[in-house]
Amino acid sequence: MRYRLKNPEIKENFGENLLRARGVQDIQEFCHPDESCLQSWRDLENIERAVKAIELTINDVRPYALIADCDVDGATSSAIIYQYLKRLNPEKEIQYFIHSGKQHGFSDLMEQLEDKDWSIIIAPDSATNDGEYISRFSCPVLCVDHHIKEENTIIPSNMILVNNQTSPNYKNKDLCGAGVTWQLCRALDDFFIKDLAWEYIDLCALGIVADMMSMLEVENQYLVQTGFKNIKNKMFRTLLEKQDYSMGGKITPITVAFYIVPLINAMIRVGSMDEKERLYLSFVMPEVMVDCHKRGAKGTKERLCVESTRECVNAKSHQDKMKEQMVEKLEAKIFKKDLLSNQVLFIRLEDDDVFPAELNGLLAMSIASKYKRPTIVARLNNEGYIRGSARAPGNTELKSFKNFMASTKLFEYTLGHDQALGVSILDRNLSTFHEIANKELSKIDFGENYYDVDFVMRADDQKIEEAIEELCAIEQVYGQQNEEPVMAITNLNVSQNNVKIIGKNLDTLRIEKNGITYVKFRAKDLIRELKDFPGDMDITLVGKPNLNEWGGKTTPQIFITDLEIEDSRFAF
């Protein structure tokens, strides 16, 4: 295990100075943002044209078509605009269209859409680059999006593009589709003299967190903090109630990202079309009574939000089992074809590898974590491109697998985040890529965990408790690009008397020393190592701060991510 202090050493005002090191200038505003942190909706280009189009058609007898994109941001974006438009005119017919898989925009829906006369087609969180399809319609097409506009994209005359990326005056380029859609609702509020947009800010917050938007943006901080304090959507609330124990009763960007978003994503990946339709509708009409599909409940009715939440939990379980089965199958391929001989574990899927393409990323993530090397899971198409998902293990010296692949100039695209993205490469370029990767990445020991940490402190430092309390006091601000702080603790000298094994399965390690409790979950291998250790131990660990509140008492903790043990007699 290795670690590196990634910012200047901080010895006081731990929370404030950490945020300053991350570029935050006004700490008070960032931690407690108010409405002044919102940018004006007027800074979004074409938004007044969008408002005018809705004004002209909201009472039209022809229906609206609403394309719901296939992720959490798409679900929340479509739910926001659907509910808002229904409030303007409850009688307005709005037809929902959802994708069968992970498609985006218009490509797979043209046959259904071209078959009817619409007053407007609305595409929230998608379609910026779908001008070729949009030009085929005679009605206005409203795209409320946040994706990058490609260089050769055409914008036909009937397309109304409201996009923060294409709006020079809109500073926050990390606003998601639900955020841009919510800003459109604010514009509609002003035009129609309403006050409705604020009722959907919780869905806006969920979209921001789910789409991994930067939480260093103060506008995003305002939207997320305000949204999570004002949760009105009953589907969102039902999901939170289901996961309340796992979340420890805390609704933060971190807990929502870990315990709510995966349930919705699982349904979108592996749910049936009927289940997906119930999911999307549960955000806009949660109280509708529907047939209950729970085992043993045939013939009974249940509220849609409750039924869909149960189905999301089941989808997550089904997805996890499917993932385990496929990982086992792909592991056989890894050893049969000696794929570990390369620095990048490139698994080419064959015709008999039958599973939803939406699982590519999860499979790549599992294999990258297990074999501790960058992994690509992809399939060859008829055009000679191998396309799929790439993942790299965290906590290594390779901080951006995306940048590395892009630097080879061999990929058609590398779209996504540093360590989790979609990729496409010509089959004929694959061997050249392996040559480059085998040479350049051989310098990195992927088997050794490498951590960027925010603090390095000795275990006997009396300020550890103060640091934990101050860092946990601002837990509401942590999220994407403003990650939870990581602490390295050195010279933790313990004996067997300091070590306790707890939990129903006796697999949780707890070390108590100097008023701090160090906890490691699912630690059976480590527990065996500690039990067999011949004497007193000198431990170096990396972990995240936490405050445990129980029985009216608050205990400072560090959740252990990784540790190393030495014999204290030989530790210097």
Of 81, 109, 76, nearest in space to 94 by CA: 81
> How far is the C-alpha of 96 from the C-alpha of 66, rounded, in Å?
5
Q: What pLDDT score does 101 carry?
A: 73
Q: What pLDDT score does 490 carry?
A: 96
Q: What pLDDT score does 297 carry?
A: 87
What confidence tens digit (pLDDT) does each residue in 371-415 have? Answer: 999 999 999 999 999 999 999 998 888 989 999 999 999 999 998
**241 token code pair:** 């109630």
Location of structure tokens 């004002």:
230
What confidence tens digit (pLDDT) does each residue in 447-462 have? Answer: 888 899 999 999 999 9
Instruction: Please give, one letter per residue, the 3-state secondary structure of 170-207.
Output: CCCCCCCHHHHHHHHHHHHHHHHCCCCHHHHHHHHHHH
Strands 499-502 and 120-124: unpaired
Location of structure tokens 């938004």:
47
Q: What pLDDT score does 165 carry?
A: 96
What confidence tens digit (pLDDT) does each residue in 164-179 have? Answer: 999 999 999 999 999 9
Burial class of residue 206 in the structure, from the number of CB atoms within 10 Å of its CB (0-12 exposed, 13-18 middle, 19+ buried): buried
Regions of the chain where pLDDT drops below 70: 568-572
Of 127, 130, 125, 131, nearest in space to 180 by CA: 125
Which phi-psi region, left, alpha or beta, contains residue 378 (left: φ > 0; alpha: ψ -120 to 50)? beta
Q: What pLDDT score does 499 carry?
A: 86
- For residue 220, give every residue at least 6 positions away whose Cβ sits within 8 Å of its Cβ, in sequence order, or none: 172, 174, 175, 179, 208, 213, 214
- Helix spans in 353-400 (H): 360-371
Of 559, 562, 518, 521, nearest in space to 542 by CA: 562
